[in-house]
Chains A and B, each alone.
Chain A
Amino acid sequence: MTNILKILLIEDDMIEIMKLNRTVSSLKLNHKIIEANNGEDALKILEKKEDLPDIILLDLNMPKINGIEFLSILKKDEVLKYIPTIILTTSSNQKDLLECYKIGIAGYVLKPLKYEEYVSKIEKLLAYWSINELKKI
């Protein structure tokens, strides 16, 4: 049996948000997507401890608080640090990748150029996390 996931997508690019939403709906998945345009918004959302997401998809290049900073804040939080966070980015910068794994991430997925490939990657990603046991709130 697969879980229905509550996904927090932190992404400043409107089209990227559309891409994920469209992918989830086209795959006919029942996962719930919560959108945050930047780190600050995301932290506000995460303040509600009773309604935390199951996983977080995080873009690295964002205004204000960037992805890595956000990740650091998250991992320092006694509650939030248990939420698996997957990086979703176009940057293949090794330095970023190493830094992210060091702080603590659950995955690092590169956004492919082609939308079809994107759909395929997201499908696998969500399939994987929907069979994982996650922390109960």
Chain B
Amino acid sequence: MSQEKIDILQRALDREKAARKQAESILEQKAAQLYETNQRLEKSYSELEMLLTKKDSQLQGVFENIVDAYLIMDLFGNILKMNDAALRLFGFENDKVDFNLMKMVSPNDYERVANSFKELLNDGVLTNFEIKITTNDNIEKLIHINASIIYDNGIAVAAQGIIRDITKNKEAEEKLIESENRLATLILNLDSGVVLEDENRKIILTNKKFTELFNIDASPTELIGMDCKEASEQNSVLFKNPDAFLSRMREIEHKKQTVLADELEMIDGKVLERNYMPIVIDQQSKGFLWTFKDITTNISYERTLKAEKQKYYNIISNINLGLLELDLDDKILMVNKSFAAMTGYSEKELIGVKGKELLPINDDRELMAEQAKNRKKGRTDSYELRINNKKGELRHWLISGAPNYDLEGKIIGSIGVNLDITEFKNLEIQKESLLKELEKSNNDLQEYAHIVSHDLKSPLRSINALFSWLKEDNASKLDGVSIQTIDLIEKTLEKMDQLITDILDYSSVGSDDGEKIEIHTNDLLIDLVKVLYIPEHISVEIASTLPIIFGHKTKLQQLFQNLISNSVKFIDKEKGIINIAAEDQGEYYQFSVHDNGMGIEKQFHDKIFKVFHSLKKSKDSSGIGLSIVQKIVELHQGKIWLESEPGIGTTFFFTLKK
């Protein structure tokens, strides 16, 4: 071995030694560093441990104080731990229970639960899991679960969850949905067309009625999102005045203020009412609501109503009755044309004036005030009133007043209907004075008849006396013929006197002879027959059933007397019979006086009732008797006629009102 080689080996050894030495010192250095790090690690570990413990106790606090139910279970569903809220939720008395949560789940849900549990295991978390359970104390609940897996060294060991009872929430939610649905249905079927649009005029909501009103061939949902501006421009042709429709729409849209009851006339005759409303909730615009309503029928109804009103207004203003409306202070609120014309004042002059102070004459003011009082008590009445018109002329009015009620039935004034009855009144006054005049003239005539009769009778008496003296004084000188002549003169005088008496009687029949009284015609006739001259060969038979009637006694006496005398006069048979009877004919009694006399030929039946018409010229027949009879019957509102057969007899019939 060479030195050199040794040397080389020596040197390599040295180098090796030095390198080892250096490596050793590095190692030493590193070991020290490691130690130091180890120390540091140990320190941080203990720190960490401390932190963990701290965290754990913190968690424990959270766990106990958590408001929501919190539960830890093993991976098989057995409860490990739960807080008070969970106790309450699941219906346990304390947490020292051995309970598997699957018992609470309905068998129908097992599969769903299994699936979500798999999800929980795979993902480590499960959120928003909802399930129906039956709690330990047997109450059905809907719960909401958020859960996560607890790992130990990377191995799932348990699951924890926060459970909320959402039974009530769910109910409320369902109710809300239900009411939303209802509202939606309501809007959908609303009688008004509705469009809710957003700021950009895009449709948010609309309904069926809207599509109908504008003849849109699409469902309301299809219209959502559509541009209203474009649509309205298309739709404008549906309106009578498209430009006006559009300009008004732009105006509304620009102002963004509520517009109510715009009327739109469509070319098909429909009339729409349009409303516009910005919807603002919590100072935030939620869009704009357009509503359209078909008011065609309302409009036509309104028009009919207006026409009716106009019709009645025309009737009222042109009717020939004065109408006026008063308030509670009797101030005039309304008058019609006739009323104004009746007063002579203009409508302007009358409105606001108290009618009772303006019109009635002084004497009638009290009467009117009284009537006004009655009206306020709700009484209706009519009365006559005298007024002065504007010219100061006296007019007679017939007034009918009635209280005026409002819709609630409260008296708010009165309504008066006035009729000018001046003409009638004048006629009435005239009639009254005419009647008075007539009465006076009748009385005058009566007086006159008496005077005439007196004046005519007096000379007859004188003539009679003079002839009688002539006869007496010259009894020895007068021959038979002269005495006969004087007798004839006396008979003529008698006839004349009778005539005058009859005429006077006839003219007196109509004169007022006191009140009508009840008359027993049976008694009247019995008494009459006693005093009348009835020849012995004639018998008068009076039916026992004669009625009681209401009449003038002396006149009825005269009536029967004349008829009986008439019968007596014309009986030409050896044995005369006069029958008097009566029968009830409802409103009238029909009397009959029958005789078996010579009878009257048909052609004379009417004539015999005429004054001075005597069929048989005789000294005791003036021809007035039956005229008086007729007059008396007429005075008792009856009729007289006769049936007769010449040679056999006559029956006079007459009726007297009961």
Question: Do A and B come from the same complex?
Answer: yes
A-to-B contact residues, CB < 8 Å? 13, 15-16, 18-19, 22, 60-61, 89-93, 95-96, 111-116, 118
Closest residue of B by beta carbon distance from A113: B497
- The reply on B466 being an interface residue by CB < 8 A is yes
Judge whether B468 is part of the interface by a CB distance below 8 angstroms.
yes
| B382 part of interface (Cβ distance < 8 Å) | no
Interface string of B449-465 (1 = CB under 8 A from A): 01101110110111011
Whether A115 and B469, one on each chain, are in contact in the complex, defined by CB atoms closer than 8 angstroms, is: yes
**Are B465 and A19 within 8 A (Cβ)?**
yes
Q: How far is the CA of A22 from the CA of B469 in the complex (A)?
A: 9
Known: A22-B469, A93-B450. A113 touches B460 (CB 8 A): yes
B330 interface residue per 8 A CB criterion: no
CB of A113 within 8 A of CB of B461, answer yes
Contact across chains for A90 and B454 when beta carbons are under 8 A apart:
yes
Determine the residue in chain A with the shortest Cβ distance to B454.
Answer: A91
Q: State whether the Cβ of B493 lies closer than 8 Å to any Cβ in chain A.
A: yes
Q: Residues on B close to A: CB < 8 A?
A: 446-447, 450-451, 453-455, 457-458, 460-462, 464-466, 468-469, 490, 493-494, 497, 504
Q: Which of A16, A92, A95 contacts B462 (CB 8 A)?
A: A16
Q: Pull 17 A–B residue pairs with CB atoms less than 8 Å apart, ordered by A.
A: A15-B462, A19-B462, A61-B451, A61-B455, A89-B454, A90-B457, A91-B450, A91-B453, A92-B504, A93-B454, A95-B446, A111-B458, A113-B494, A114-B464, A114-B468, A115-B465, A115-B468
User: CA A18 – CA B462 in complex, angstroms?
Assistant: 10
Most buried by B among A16, A113, A118: A113
Task: Give Cα distance in the complex from A19 to B463, angstroms.
Answer: 11
* Cβ–Cβ < 8 Å partners of A118 in chain B: 461, 465
Q: B454 contacts A15, CB within 8 Å?
A: no
Q: Which 7 A-B pairs have the closest CB atoms?
A: A115-B468, A15-B462, A93-B450, A115-B465, A91-B454, A90-B457, A113-B497
Residues of A within 8 Å of B457, CB to CB, are 90, 111, 113
A89 to B446, CA, bound (A): 17
A13 to chain B, nearest CB (A): 6
Give Cα A56 to B462, complex, Å.
21
> A residues within 8 A CB of B458?
13, 16, 61, 90, 111
Closest Cβ of chain A: how far from B272's Cβ, in Å? 92
Q: Which residue of B lies closest to A96 (CB)?
A: B450
CB-CB nearest in chain A for B493: A113
CB distance from A62 to the nearest CB of B (A): 11
The complex places the Cα of A118 from the Cα of B466 at a distance, in Å, of 13
Most chain A CB within 10 A, of B454, B458, B462, B465, is at B465
Measured between beta carbons, the chain B residues less than 8 angstroms from A111 are 457-458, 461
Cα of A100 to Cα of B243 in the assembled complex, Å: 108
User: What residue of chain A has the Cβ atom nearest to residue B455's Cβ?
Assistant: A61
State in angstroms the CA–CA spacing of A95 and B448 once bound together: 13
What is the CB-to-nearest-CB distance from B421 to chain A, in angstroms, rounded to a whole number?
39
Cα distance, A16 to B458, chains bound together (Å)? 9
Question: A116 touches which one: B451, B462, B468 (CB < 8 A)?
Answer: B468
Residues of A within 8 A of B465 (CB): 15, 18-19, 115, 118
B455 proximity list for chain A (CB < 8 A): 61
Bound-state CA distance A102–B464 (Å) is: 32
Note all chain B residues with C-beta closer than 8 A to A96: 450
Contact of A15 among B447, B451, B466 (CB under 8 A): B466
Known A61-B451, A113-B493; contact A90-B461, beta-carbon cutoff 8 A: yes
Shortest Cβ gap from A5 to chain B (Å): 22
Complex Cα distance A19/B91, Å? 152
Measured CB to CB, the nearest residue on chain A to B498 is A113
B459 to chain A, nearest CB (A): 9
Question: Could you list 5 further interchain pairs (A-B, Cβ under 8 angstroms) beyond the known A15-B462, A114-B490?
Answer: A15-B465, A60-B454, A93-B450, A93-B454, A113-B494
Q: Which residues of A are found within 8 Å of B464, using beta-carbon distances?
A: 113-115
Kindly list chain B residues whose C-beta atoms are within 8 Å of the C-beta of A16: 458, 461-462
Complex Cα spacing A114 to B486, Å: 13
Distance to closest chain B CB from A27 (angstroms): 14
> Measured between C-beta atoms, what is the minimum distance from A20 to chain B in Å?
10
A41 to B453, CA, bound (A): 26
Report the minimal beta-carbon distance from A24 to chain B, rounded to whole angstroms: 14
How many Å from the CB of B101 to the closest CB on chain A? 133
Complex CA distance for A111 and B497, rounded to whole angstroms: 12
**Inside 8 A of B466's CB, which chain A residues have their CB?**
15
Nearest chain A CB to B639's CB is how many angstroms away? 28
Of B451, B453, B458, B497, most A-chain CB atoms within 10 Å: B458
- Chain B residues with CB below 8 A from A114, complex form: 464, 468, 490, 494
Q: Complex Cα distance A13/B450, Å?
A: 18
Rounded to whole Å, the gap between the CB of B42 and the closest CB of chain A is 166
Smallest Cβ-Cβ distance to A116: which chain B residue? B468
Q: How far is the CB of B466 from the nearest CB of chain A, in Å?
A: 7
Which A residues are CB-close (under 8 A) to B490? Answer: 114
Please indicate the chain B residues that have their CB under 8 angstroms from the CB of A18 in the complex: 465
B490 closest partner in A (C-beta): A114
A116 to B471 alpha-carbon distance, docked (Å):
12
Residues of chain A within 8 A (CB-CB) of B468 are 114-116
Instruction: Say how far B428's CB is from chain A's closest CB, in angstroms.
Output: 30
A125 to chain B, nearest CB (A): 16
Which A residues lie within 8 Å of B504 (CB)?
92
B577 to chain A, nearest CB (A): 34
Nearest residue, chain A, Cβ from B458:
A90
Chain B residue at minimum C-beta to C-beta distance from A110 = B457
Residue of A nearest to B457 (CB): A90
Contacts of A15 in B (CB 8 A): 462, 465-466
